[in-house]
Structure 1
């Protein structure tokens, strides 16, 4: 499968193309291949050590980045998917079910963007509709009933803005999902795995521990949308990304998130299995800490945390 390079990765792409050309001519042991490989690795590490908010936005949206299904297959055993909101239908953009992580029973849910044209259309590019968020509430209620922790994976540009979604109560469904997250009586861990956009992301991220992958983003609007509103010029998305403080590093300083999960060099899309493993270790550690607290402590601590976000920015 051909690797997709981002614009700022062109120097690495050129080196990798040279490596492939040498291998095609003389095999993997061809003279100069190993040296170029080391140069490529060093260049990649140097590039990623200094990328800015706009470059991180591109990485967060990379099509090869691990999605919900990769996290399920890599971390969750005995997974049983649950479908439908018991009101209207099933939303394929927001998936969830029951399973185990290292022997611990959990309810797990998250956005799924898809990996090719067919699956992207099926999952509506990860943009959930009201029935998706009502399914999330149903899953949280199930976790509460059986006293098992919740894990969510956030990766969406935002909730679906279509007319049908609005007619079926998109804003109300998101609000109820946020409220349920704040009041649920069991430990709740959320991971911003790629793109965390607007209320569509917050709806399943009002958790006890909110973690972000190193090169993910989390914002109230996309940089393109912000640029269109502020400057009436979507081409200024790079300026908007910088001004909005959307990176994990900025949000950790502002107290919006609790932890940054380190990614493999070159981003999670370059080493999916390693990235999934790092995320799993962070989740298990957080759950172990949260399970020491009773439900009243969890709810108070969670509510106070989200209220303090606004106060700390005044």
Structure 2
């Protein structure tokens, strides 16, 4: 069943009428509804296109958080073959907030990792809503070490509101774990690609997104702090999250202009949650292009390209 966001109410109303007509037709076979359903469907499609052409940053944040938006586990199922998950940081525990392993994308052997938020109450609790603890980032470092050793490109999928802020995580070295993961990303001698598929929040995202190339889905967001957190700091009022989102430049369109990301993966009107297959196809194509562009590059060249990319961010802003 489709879940609608507040600003999608015109579409919800039209699709509700279509559902009523179809229900009526099932109880009375003599009723012809095809013409009216087609008319309402066309109006709903037009309304959806019109709404998604004018999304505000706060509305894009809501789309990025949509509960039916494809999660990392969905990308694994549809893009990765011969998938072999790898667990644990070999120091403390397994952290289900970050899933990692090896497999093939378009036939190319790769190491893959990403944040998993979960899609039901049970899986959200299991994966801690995608908010990793130190052992999650140490697992990421372990996988990157392995990829470097076996010359496997690293593909990461980012979808997290941020690293887990609990006391236990801080006691076990959360800040250092994030820094070590960022450091390992920078020093890799193999190509690495990061794709922001939903939320890219704070250092929890940077730990997986320090890559040769960073891409974002069109309705994803990438930010140093959540709009709610920013509003709490700036105005001491989390209710002003909408104002914060509209002023923080967190959208893919803004970040492409700033040079923070390298390209945008388009989403059809209605978002990835309505068009999962099409978005998966576009993501597969983007990964294939990356692998082709970076094929054969030497270890030193990859490190230097990555270094120059991040040093250049913010240097040409007016």
Q: TM-score, normalised by structure 2?
A: 0.97
In 1, Cα distance between the equivalents of 2:150 and 2:75? 23
In 2, Cα distance between the equivalents of 1:287 and 1:52? 33
Q: Secondary structure at the match of 1:269?
A: coil
In 1, Cα distance between the equivalents of 2:163 and 2:32? 50
- Give per-residue Cα distances to partners, 1:263-310, cap 9 Å, x unaligned: 122000002122111111111111110114211111001011111114
Match of 2:62 among 39, 58, 63: 58
In 2, Cα distance between the equivalents of 1:303 and 1:150? 17
**Conserved in 1, the CA contact under 8 Å of 2:134 and 2:173?**
yes
Q: Secondary structure at the match of 1:160?
A: coil
Q: TM-score, normalised by structure 1?
A: 0.98
Partner residue, 1:21: 20
Q: How does 1:8-87 map to 2 (within 5 A)?
A: 8-27=7-26, 30=33, 31-87=35-91
Unaligned regions of 5+ residues in structure 2, if any?
none
Partner residue, 1:257: 261
Q: Secondary structure at the match of 2:245?
A: helix
Structure 1 residue 313: deviation in Å?
4.2
Match of 2:158 among 149, 154, 157: 154
Partner residue, 1:225: 229
**Conserved in 2, the CA contact under 8 Å of 1:130 and 1:174?**
yes
Partner residue, 2:196: 192
**Conserved in 1, the CA contact under 8 Å of 2:259 and 2:314?**
no
In 1, Cα distance between the equivalents of 2:186 and 2:288? 21
- Give per-residue Cα distances to partners, 1:209-268, cap 9 Å, x unaligned: 100000000000000110111011111111111111000000000000000000122000
Stretches of 4+ aligned residues off by more than 4 angstroms = none
1:89 aligns with 2:88: no
Q: Secondary structure at the match of 1:4?
A: coil
Partner residue, 2:297: 293
Q: Secondary structure at the match of 2:315?
A: helix
**Conserved in 2, the CA contact under 8 Å of 1:193 and 1:216?**
yes
Q: Secondary structure at the match of 2:68?
A: coil
What is the RMSD computed on CA atoms of the aligned residues?
1.1
Q: Secondary structure at the match of 1:203?
A: helix
Unaligned regions of 5+ residues in structure 1, if any?
none
**Conserved in 2, the CA contact under 8 Å of 1:152 and 1:205?**
yes
Aligned residues: 313
Structure 1 residue 194: deviation in Å?
0.2
**Conserved in 2, the CA contact under 8 Å of 1:74 and 1:277?**
no
Match of 2:279 among 264, 275, 298: 275
Match of 1:129 among 124, 130, 133: 133
**Conserved in 1, the CA contact under 8 Å of 2:258 and 2:314?**
no
Match of 2:245 among 241, 262, 282: 241
**Conserved in 2, the CA contact under 8 Å of 1:53 and 1:246?**
yes
- Give per-residue Cα distances to partners, 1:78-125, cap 9 Å, x unaligned: 000000001001000000100001110000000000001000000000
Structure 1 residue 130: deviation in Å?
0.2
In 2, Cα distance between the equivalents of 1:233 and 1:144? 45
In 1, Cα distance between the equivalents of 2:223 and 2:24? 47
Q: Secondary structure at the match of 2:208?
A: coil
Partner residue, 1:266: 270
